[in-house]
Amino acid sequence: MQFFARAALAAAFALPLTGIASAAPEPPFNFDTTYGNLPKDVVPRAYTISVTPDPDHLALKGSETVRIEVRKPTKTVVFNALNLTFSRASVDGVPATVVPDDKTQRATLTAGKILQPGMHSLALTYAGKMETSGQGLFRQPYLGADGKQHVMISTQFESTDARRMFPCWDEPAFRAVYTLSATLPAAWSAVSNMPVASRVVHGATATTTFQPSEKMASYLVVLSAGDLKSISDVDANGTRHEVWATNGYEDEGRYALANSKQILEAYDAYFGIKFPPPKLSSIAVPGGFSGAMENWGGITYNDQILLLGKSGTLGQKEEIYSVQAHEMAHQWFGDLVTMSWWDDLWLNESFASWMSARQTNLANPTWLWWQDQDGDKEGAMGADAEITSHPIQTHVTDELQAEAAFDPAITYSKGQAFLRMTEAYLGPDTFRSGIRLYMQNQKFSNATATDLWLALSKTSGKDVAAYANGWIGQAGFPLVSVTATCDATGNRTIALHQERFLISGISDPAKTLWNVPVGIASGSGTSAYTMLSARDQTGIPAGSCSEPLRANAGDIGFYRVAYDAPTLATNTKAFGTLPDEDKIAMLDDQWALTLAGKTDLKTYLALANAMGSDHDTRAWTQIVGSLGTIERDERNKTGHDAFTAYARTLVHPLFDSLGWDAKPDDAPPVRTLRNRVIGALGQWGDPGIIAEAKKRFAAFVADRSTLTPDEQNVVLGIVGTYADQATFDQIHAFAKAAKNQTEAERFYFALESAKDPKLAEQGMEIAISSEIPPQAANSVPGMVFSNVDWNPSLAYAFGKAHGKQVFKAFTGMDMVFLALFVPQAFADAAPLDDVQAWVTSLVPPGSDAYIQRGMSSAKLRLQLKSRIVEQADSAMSFSRS
Ligand SMILES: [Zn+2]
């Protein structure tokens, strides 16, 4: 699953999640002993479910027969149900009673007689509720391609919401076969995990029955229906691929359909097990939930991350491909082999993230995708460098914790980086053999981390558990310090020292150690791994002292490196000659060491100044991002103008060599880089850039064909920032006249970047108005809080006054996550006591731990801000002298 609202908030505010207990090392998967809240003496084997949704009244009716296996004599059967009322119940035709308890989300059936071991048939008739957001079976209103208001329905069950649509054993270890049928308006199409088996029309309604599913976990069941149309194709291995969209938008699924075929064929080959279901549907849901969900054979997507219209950008193409590659990786990691319990959610999410990055990089070599993913790795390291961070593997006991485990920084990004490091250390072929063995051993079943380590140990001959458990079971990551000694002939020997890297600058009270595969390369040589297992290791030969040294070669490891001063000086001198990945790693590390107060900003700026004519996108994105952080932190301070002038001077030569206009032979990352550099110079008040953006906007007003969608983004960003009322009104008119949501959001977001407080206020009013269509409700918080950049106090006051409207699309757990994101965003907009009181009023009761963690991050943010301002002022007086 992917949550974009949550990931976007986390990225925007660089947020950590914290204070979660680590899980104890586990045995291999065993159904009887795996953690869970339901008794295992009655096990479902096959469900036959009939539902009749009533979206007009937000209600549903259902009946269900479950083939259950009773494993020891019992009179009671316990399963999950939420907001369901039962009108009839029986076992083997003998009436039974059911008592649901919405507090525990469980129902207890008492049979008419004692059930003996063996197979039995349980029958239930019930009524339930439909939801208005992505939890259970939900109603989704949307503005259709015909300009009219429509309604469709869809489901979102992960983690624990299948129980809202049908009674079930709603824990991942209870795999069963599902045969679903739905009675809906006859004009509608319905899509589920499997192809349609039969369709019977009765006047205005029709009952669609789907073929029995694979044996799978309940959270993977899907039902989407409405005025939907599809396009389809068949891949080389015989799997049928479909893209479903609301009527009129199906042709925007062409790109996704081609991707779907390409990715599934590659995965069939990688895993050595062909995709089991006969078809794979990709379903575009307008709005709905701000992400994508890997239901087996029927993946649902927010339509903005599946459909690509004429106004799509390169960034959207990249996002669509990588999200598809993530959800499709889940068809194996998650669906074919499911984590035994939510503790091992990382077996789903870390793997899907890593596999997606691997596939996206392989299939689109010009995108330099692993370099791009360094941004995600830095996000994870930022979160994981707080004392309150948590391990990849966390112990989960209830529904709220299961939801909280979907932490974008740690479960997704750190997990992805850890797996990449592991693949590189074991070797890609050995790693793949281990994955294939794991899939063969656990297919159509469940797994723990230990099952994976056993398979990888077998194929690699290494004790993988000993290496890996420290990485998934401990919070944080190491700082590896490198000290070189040179002999009389110039040969270099290095000593390594590890300790946990904490951004606050304190030393690690827990004295954590890791097994760190340190990839070392000297000069232009290839890298060799040294496994650093103790606190210190000495006597490692590392080339010649005259050559640069790379101690995280290829930017593959999840650790930071601090070089001694002479080695850093050698590296800085040779910086322009280093491979791009190593430049990126050194810039990241030197910047983080500056934030932590462990080095001087001047050492970072020396690297940035040594970039020369290099056009590497991620390296420059890192520089532009770091300078941008300082520029924001310097606002309203005496050093602001001097620093901003310095930043413009540093970056301007890059702009001079790129220019405004794309060249036909520009690689995709160069186009991205051009937009970032222009955007940054605009943000830093470069008069030439601002004047040119205004000129180009005027030409665009006269002739809408003068700017491509990618160019519109950068021009609108600058023009929106410096807008006067007339310009603001012009952008607003474009927004209202936009033909589709992608285009509309581009203009609406431009309204949320105004420096002028009066316009910022107008922009926020627009964001919460009825002008924003229902399917864009998830974007509203992001729109309003874009104003934090230039008008933090105003955005804070507005959020406080209109919280209900701003967050109307957020469901339970998203609101809990706000406690983590919001305090840091407003750390310097209002007194922290006031921020805490507001956040407390926003989030559900019982979120105190999250609020404390959010407030701790806010305090850290202020500490880092004052540290970086002091460093920048000192570096500027140095640079002037
Ligand atoms: Zn996922």
The 10s digit of each residue's pLDDT in 804-825 is 899 888 876 677 778 888 999 9
Q: At residue 641, what is the residue type? A: D
How far does residue 292's CA lie from ligand 1's centre (Å)?
A: 8
The residue with tokens 């008419």 is 112
| Catalytic choice (131, 252, 318, 327) | 327
How far does residue 215's CA lie from ligand 1's centre (Å)?
A: 20
Orientation of helix 580-595 relative to helix 617-634, angle to 10°: 20
pLDDT of residue 20: 41
How far does residue 467's CA lie from ligand 1's centre (Å)?
A: 25
Mean pLDDT, the chain, rounded, equals 94
What's the CA gap between 173 and 344, in Å, rounded? 12
pLDDT of residue 134: 87
pLDDT of residue 18: 33
- pTM metric for this prediction: 0.94
pLDDT of residue 15: 33
How far does residue 293's CA lie from ligand 1's centre (Å)?
A: 7
Poorest-pLDDT segment among 4-8, 332-336, 385-389, 534-538: 4-8
Residue 606, H or E segment: helix 601-609
* Mean pLDDT to the nearest integer, 558-585: 97
The 10s digit of each residue's pLDDT in 671-692 is 999 999 999 999 999 999 999 9
pLDDT of residue 4: 58
Does the structure show a pLDDT above 80 at 21?
Answer: no
What's the CA gap between 68 and 38, in Å, rounded? 14
The 10s digit of each residue's pLDDT in 356-394 is 999 999 999 999 999 999 999 999 999 999 998 999 998
In which order are the strands placed within the sheet that holds 189-192? 136-143, 149-156, 223-226, 189-192
pLDDT of residue 879: 67
pLDDT of residue 14: 37
How far does residue 595's CA lie from ligand 1's centre (Å)?
A: 31
The 10s digit of each residue's pLDDT in 409-459 is 898 999 999 999 999 999 999 999 999 999 999 999 999 999 999 999 999
What's the CA gap between 701 and 723, in Å, rounded? 14
Q: φ and ψ at 566, to 5 degrees? A: -65, -40
Distance of CA 135 to the CA centre of its chain: 18
Q: How far is CA 492 from CA 195, 445, 526, 538, 577, in A?
A: 64, 51, 16, 12, 20
What's the CA gap between 305 and 324, in Å, rounded? 9
Q: Is 499 noted as a catalytic residue in this protein?
A: no
How far does residue 325's CA lie from ligand 1's centre (Å)?
A: 10
Give the closest residue to 245 by CA, choosing from 286, 296, 299, 201: 286
How far does residue 416's CA lie from ligand 1's centre (Å)?
A: 11
What's the CA gap between 654 and 37, in Å, rounded? 58
Residue 862, H or E segment: helix 848-880
pLDDT of residue 612: 86
The residue with tokens 């071991």 is 117
Q: φ and ψ at 224, to 5 degrees? A: -125, 140
Maximum mean pLDDT: which of 277-291, 389-403, 625-639? 625-639
The residue with tokens 């950068």 is 714
* Mean pLDDT to the nearest integer, 730-734: 97
Confidence of residue 776 (pLDDT cuts 50, 70, 90): confident
pLDDT of residue 850: 86
Pair of tokens at residue 360: 């996206």
Does the structure show a pLDDT above 90 at 846?
Answer: no
The 10s digit of each residue's pLDDT in 291-323 is 899 999 999 999 999 999 988 899 999 999 999
pLDDT of residue 498: 98
How far does residue 323's CA lie from ligand 1's centre (Å)?
A: 9
pLDDT of residue 416: 96
3-state SS, 345-386, equals HHHHHHHHHHHHHHHHHHHCHHHCHHHHHHHHHHHHHHHHCC
Poorest-pLDDT segment among 383-397, 452-466, 514-528, 755-769: 383-397
Tell me: cis bond preceding 353? Omega within 30 of 0 counts.
no
Per the CB < 8 A criterion, the answer to whether 823 and 855 are in contact is: yes
* Mean pLDDT to the nearest integer, 75-102: 98
How far does residue 556's CA lie from ligand 1's centre (Å)?
A: 22
Pair of tokens at residue 183: 């009675």
* Mean pLDDT to the nearest integer, 150-157: 96
pLDDT of residue 13: 42
Confidence of residue 16 (pLDDT cuts 50, 70, 90): very low
pLDDT of residue 835: 96
Does the structure show a pLDDT above 90 at 739?
Answer: no
Poorest-pLDDT segment among 281-290, 609-618, 849-858: 281-290
The 10s digit of each residue's pLDDT in 103-131 is 999 999 999 999 999 999 999 999 999 99
